[in-house]
Amino acid sequence: MYSYEKIAKILHADKKTIKRVEEKMAGVLGHNSVFDKIVEENEAIIKEKIKFLKIKENSAASLYKSLINKIKDTDYKIFNLFERPVCDKKEGCEKVLNFAKELSGSPDGFFLKEEKAKELLINIPPQNVLKFLKYKNAEEMLARENLFEVFAALRFIEESSWLNNIFFKQYENLKPSDFEKRKIRVEVLSDKWRAAAENFLKKKYHNISHLKELGVIFIIPALLDVPGETLRTFSLILHYFHEIDF
């Protein structure tokens, strides 16, 4: 199997497309060894990891089993490090996120002002969120609810077509003066959102997401009952701190 075929297989890409990329790179660089070098490095890394995991049988099943066991082992250590947090409750989540915040250096950024965010919701009220919370209008909702929780709820209660084609169209008119410099914050959502977020959790395969424009990482308190629960939560929070900053 040629190098471009192996890379196409890894990327689930069309072989002919990858071959054309290789040919163009060869034309620019004057040689066609780039893909060979990538495949060579990948195979060396795989051998190193297989040795590290002490896998005797080089098969997909044994590799999967070893990786799951490694995840469980690391997760158990982190679970105890955080004094056994359970992230289906707000208090458990906060232990994990506070350490991630400290480790990331709690970066700041240029984010949408709260007043402007409220204005966007009042201009085009999220009808599904209003119905879910049983409010007549956005003004009444914003007087009683956490603004950041409401914005997070837009992602899993409102239709994506409404968000992208109607609500987010307002962003085209935003000005630099609508933003301010402040720290990235993490919101552990109230338990009342759990049922509404059920489809979101199934689609994302995790209970953490972020709002780049507001500089917010939000967590839906829930246990997905999969290996590595604490490890996944911690690494994703840390990832989003760096992604928003980036």
Domain ranges, ordered by start, for the chain: 3-79, 86-245
Residues near 14 by beta carbon (within 8 Å), at least 6 away in sequence:
8
Helix/strand/coil for 172: helix
Q: Exposed, middle or buried: residue 216 (CB in 10 Å: 0-12, 13-18, 19+)?
A: buried
Alpha-carbon 197 to chain mean position: 15
Q: Which two tokens stand for residue 69?
A: 């066991």
In the prediction, which pLDDT does 27 show?
A: 83
Q: Kindly tell me if the per-residue pLDDT of 77 is higher than 60.
A: yes
Which structure tokens are listed for 17? Answer: 């497309």
pLDDT-derived band at 211, boundaries 50, 70, 90: very high
SS3 88: coil
pTM of this structure: 0.70
Q: How far is CA 64 from the centre of its chain?
A: 23
Residue 91's pLDDT band (boundaries 50, 70, 90)?
low
pLDDT band at 88 (very low <50, low <70, confident <90, very high): low
Report d(CA 170, CA 125) in Å as an integer: 12
| pLDDT > 90? residue 59 | no
**What is the residue type of 55?**
I
| DSSP class of 71 | H
Q: Is pLDDT larger for residue 188 or for residue 82? A: 188
SS3 state of residue 126: coil
pLDDT(195) > 80: no
CB burial string 18-29: b at 16+ within 10 A, e below: bbebbeeeeeee
H/E element, 216: strand 216-219
Using only the alpha carbons of the chain, give its radius of gyration.
23
Q: Token pair for residue 174?
A: 């935003």
Lowest mean pLDDT among 8-17, 81-90, 169-178: 81-90
Residue 142 neighbours by CB distance under 10 Å: 19
d(CA 111, CA 126): 21
Confidence at 245, pLDDT banded by 50, 70, 90: confident
Q: In this structure, is the dihedral angle defined by the CA atoms of residues 113, 242, 197 and 231, taken in order, positive or negative?
A: negative
Banded pLDDT at 115 (limits 50, 70, 90): very high
Q: The tokens 């471009």 sit on which residue?
A: 4
- Residue 145: its pLDDT value, please? 95
For residue 165, name the pLDDT band (cuts at 50, 70, 90). Answer: very high
Q: How far apart are CA 81 and CA 96, in angstroms?
A: 10
Q: Is the pLDDT of residue 70 over 70?
A: yes
Bridge-based pairing of strands 208-211 and 185-188 is unpaired
CA–CA dist 227, 237 (Å, integer): 17
